[in-house]
Amino acid sequence: MATTDAPKSGCKVDLTGQVALVTGASRGIGRAIAVRLAECGASIAAVARTVEGLSTTLEIIRAAGGTAEPFAGSVADAKDVERIIEEVEAKFQKVQILVNNAGVTKDGLMLRMEDSAWDDVIDTNLKGTFLFCRAIGAMMIRQRYGRIINISSVSGIMGNPGQANYSASKAGVIGFTKTIARELAARNITVNAVAPGFITTDMTDVLPEKVKTEVKERIPVRRLGAPEDIADLVCYLAGPGAGFLTGQSIAVDGGMTC
């Protein structure tokens, strides 16, 4: 029988005393990751474009007894990133876990794609990942420990018509992840990429039921993923048990790319 609901699972990874910085934490996958990491004991530095956008994420974490603080800015702006890192360091002193989740889509066929649509997606999805990895990576090198998890996409593995910019950015994230994993491994820092497939988020909620049904038919487990499916893997990769796992790109897609 096909499974229709995402599995319910509590956190089995102990991240007590650690600080996790999560970009794009205002909704969807980013919110689920921030909440799950907090459930595992981590203090959360939640990053989004506005503090107001993070209100629900903060409420969920704090209501459960967790610690979370908001930090606002553009992940694609080097000055904003520098300021955010300074604010996070002033508040928490250290960051042991970095999750680069912030991302945007501006879909369109390649021949009709405007320069701005290409630049905005590449800057947010790929450059933003680079900026945070460079800044937090330096911090992790000093403390000789770290876990970096970059959120890619199956679109970066197999491509997707109408998403030349998005697919290029997410493929870039995978290549970037593999390279810096080699650069940082000697300092006890692991770097991995997670590539979600079709996940139930605000973007997929607006799709017609017919389209959702067609998508499910392409997925061997016959359901869309839930944000928690991604969050559970991120928590494992962030934990002490994943110390020998680095430079990998792991698709969480219900078997779509197998």
Let me know if 166 is a catalytic residue. Answer: yes
Selecting among 92, 166, 176, 198, the annotated active-site residue is 166
Alpha helices in 144-251 (DSSP H): 155-158, 164-184, 202-205, 209-217, 227-238
Q: How far apart are CA 7 and CA 78, in angstroms?
A: 38
* DSSP-derived secondary structure for the chain: ----SPPP----S--TT-EEEEESTTSHHHHHHHHHHHHTT-EEEEEES-SGGGHHHHHHHHHTT--EEEEES-TT-HHHHHHHHHHHHHHHS---EEEE-------B-GGG--HHHHHHHHIIIIIHHHHHHHHHHHHHHHHT-EEEEEE--THHHH--TTBHHHHHHHHHHHHHHHHHHHHHGGGTEEEEEEEE-SB-SHHHHTS-HHHHHHHHHTSTTSS-B-HHHHHHHHHHHHSGGGTT--S-EEEESTTTT-
97-100 sheet: strands from edge to edge: 68-72, 43-48, 19-23, 97-100, 146-151, 189-196, 249-252
Active-site residue numbers? Answer: 166
